Amino acid sequence: MTSPGADDRVVITGMGWVTPLGHELESVWKRLLAGESGIAPIDRFDARTFPTTFAGQVRGYDLARFVKDPAVHAGAGLNTAFALGAARQAWTQARLDDDARLDRRRIGLYLGAGEGVLDFDPYVASNLAGWDPATKRVDGRRWVEAALRLMHAEREIEQEPNMPLAHLAREFGIRGPAYNCLTACAASTQAMGEAFSIIRRGDADVMIAGGTHTMIHVLGITGFNRLTALSISKGDPTKASKPFSRNRDGFVMGEGSGMLVLERLSHAARRGATPLAEVVGYGSSADAFRITDIQPAGRGAAAAMTGALRQAGLDPAALDAKGRPGVHYISAHGTGTQENDSIETAAVKRVFGSLAPRIPMSSVKSMFGHLIAAAGSVEMITCVLAIRDRVLPPTINLHEPDPALDLDYVPNQARTADVDVCLSNSFGFGGQNDTVIIRRF
Question: Which among 167, 217, 267, 333 is annotated as catalytic?
Answer: 333
Q: Residue 267: helix, strand or coil by DSSP?
A: helix
Q: Which of 217, 267, 370, 422 is catalytic?
A: 370
Number of alpha carbons in the 13 Å side-chain half-sphere of residue 316: 25
Q: Where are the alpha helices (DSSP H) in 272-337?
A: 299-312
Listed residue (326, 304, 307) closest to 315, CA to CA: 326
| Residue 64 CB-density burial (10 A; 0-12 exposed, 13-18 middle, 19+ buried) | exposed
Catalytic site includes residue 333:
yes
Contact 198, 211 (CB under 8 A): no
Contact by Cβ (8 Å): 210, 188: yes
Q: What is the DSSP letter of 429?
A: T
Q: In this structure, what DSSP letter does residue 253 have?
A: B
Three-class secondary structure of residue 178 per DSSP = strand
- Angle 187-200/375-389 helices, nearest 10 degrees? 70
**In degrees, to the nearest 5, what angle opens at C-alpha 177 toward C-alphas 176 and 182?**
140
DSSP3 helix / strand / coil % (the chain, rounded to 5): 35, 20, 40
Catalytic residue among 73, 181, 185, 213: 185
Question: Do 432 and 183 meet the contact criterion of CB atoms below 8 Å apart?
Answer: yes
Distance CA 372, CA 394 (A): 20
For residues 324 and 417, the answer to whether their CB atoms sit within 8 Å is no
What sign does the dihedral 389-395-336-348 (CA atoms) show? positive
| Contacts (Cβ under 8 Å, ≥6 apart) of 253 | 52, 55, 56, 215, 216, 220, 221, 224, 230, 369, 370, 372
Beta bridge partners of 259: 16, 210
Active site residue 383: no
Whether 185 is catalytic is yes
> Among all residues, which ones are annotated catalytic?
185, 333, 370
